[in-house]
Chains A and B, each alone.
Chain A
């Protein structure tokens, strides 16, 4: 069964600190993996996208890693800011004739001043 699991479920950190969010998946055949940031009451916004052959992808203070062998990904946020408070969703695309998205349950991040 195609599944995407994220941890932790929620996280509280102080402004300026770093944090790492985890994503484990069992999706086959794997196409790509995206990390989205979703502010409360808004649609998800793509942060990074990685294909099978990519190990690391950065977008400003966001760095995503992918280990296709262990089917794990992480999103590292450096020098967190208050505006980083949001839900971070890991989404894995399965190539099944037509592309299909499998969404993780997300990690809710709260950055405190």
Chain B
């Protein structure tokens, strides 16, 4: 089946620095990828929809300038958390549409990135 690779799996950074998270679709092209954030014991919350070759669409309440999304190719989307603060510490997960989904939308998730800002 389709595989989405996410890197790094864990990152610890100092407050005020920027962190880049990569999301790659392996063996399939993903024109659209999604970025989620998950706080402890809570459900996944959609942050933004990443579109290849165009600007990302952000959900209400998500700061565009803080969470920079670049979808430069059909297999790679990146999320950069700029000027990270401790409250940005969370679990970030990407997903991409599985081309094998047929008539039913199928989405495969990456393994997630645990970001800790100290």
How far is A21 from B92 in the complex, measured between Cα atoms in Å? 26
Binary interface encoding of chain A residues 79-102 relative to chain B, with 1 for a CB under 8 A from any of its CBs, else 0: 000000000010001000011010
**Interface majority SS on B: helix, strand, loop or mixed?**
strand
Q: A104 and B43: CB pair below 8 A?
A: yes
* Pairwise interchain contact A43-B112, C-beta atoms closer than 8 A: yes
B107 touches A89 (CB 8 A): no
| Closest beta carbon of chain B to A34's beta carbon, Å | 8
* Cα of A51 to Cα of B101 in the assembled complex, Å: 12
Q: How many A-B residue pairs lie within 8 Å, measured between CB atoms?
A: 44
**Is the CB–CB distance between B105 and A99 below 8 Å?**
yes
**Which residues of chain A from 2 to 49 have a CB within 8 Å of any chain B CB?**
31-32, 36, 41-46, 49
Q: How far is the CB of A94 from chain B (nearest CB, A)?
A: 10
A42 to B4, CA, bound (A): 12
Q: Beyond A89-B43, A105-B42, A105-B43, is A31–B105 a contact (Cβ under 8 Å)?
A: yes
Chain A residues within 8 Å of B, Cβ to Cβ = 31-32, 36, 41-46, 49, 51, 89, 93, 98-99, 101, 103-106, 108
